[in-house]
Amino acid sequence: MHALRSCSSARLQKTGINSTLGIAPKTEDFVRQVAISDMFEIQSSRIAQERGNADQKAFAGTMIKDHQVTSADLMDHAGEWKTALPTKLHSLHQSKIDKLKSLHGTEFSSRYNLDQVSGHKDAVSLFERYAKGGDDPNLKEWAEKTLPTLWHHLEMAQEIAAGKPVESTRCRS
């Protein structure tokens, strides 16, 4: 029952009234949501590396690499926040993974693009809210430092969804 409550709480924090009102999530909720988001990005992008078009495969490689970095950061510091990191996706994200696994060709591409744009919009909102109003100063700083990468991911996802070539989505140094 506690796991169900945590998943529902995380979903409400991410897409519910707190997001609409711009309220920062609690540290525990933020850390869990970031971990779930990273797992989803990595898993969905691994599927994209198998089934996506060339631009999606290149984008997916960046998503895997970058989200492994944020996952490692979370693991390194989870003890400081006294938060147990989830080890599997909650049902909402798992159903998205299951859907992606069942699709091929243009259906896969459309769904992956949609999931990436939506997921990165949610992530940007989550990180912005925590950076502005979170209760842990070190985690707020980390959220602030991570935001430019997430904004860039969102821009890349939007460009790929709009059919722009991957060359225009390369990371800026």
pLDDT given at position 166: 64
pLDDT at position 20 is 54
Q: What is the pLDDT of residues 61-81, one digit of tens each?
A: 999 999 999 999 999 888 887
pLDDT of residue 19: 55
Mean pLDDT across 98-118: 97
- Whole-number Å distance between alpha carbons of 92 and 90: 6
Average pLDDT over residues 142-171: 86
The pLDDT of residue 130 is above 70: yes
Which residues neighbour 17 within 8 Å (Cβ) at sequence distance 6 or greater? 23
Q: Span 138-148, mean pLDDT?
A: 95
Could you name the CATH architecture of 2-12+27-81+88-169? Up-down Bundle (1.20)
Q: How confident is the model at residue 84 (pLDDT cuts 50, 70, 90)?
A: confident
User: Are the C-beta atoms of residues 35 and 6 closer than 8 Å to each other?
Assistant: no
**Average per-residue pLDDT for the chain:** 86
Least confident of 6-15, 90-99, 156-165: 6-15
Specify the pLDDT at position 165: 77
Residues 4-61 pLDDT 10s:
333 333 443 444 545 555 688 999 999 999 999 999 999 999 999 999 999 999 999 9
Distance CA 120, CA 123 (A): 5
Interatomic CA distance for residues 109 and 68, integer angstroms: 23
Q: For the chain, which residues make up each domain, given as ranges?
A: 2-12+27-81+88-169
Please check the confidence at residue 1 and state whether its pLDDT lies above 60.
no
Residue 82: which pLDDT band, with cuts at 50, 70 and 90? Answer: confident
Model confidence at 104, pLDDT cuts 50, 70, 90, reads very high
3-class SS at 171?
coil
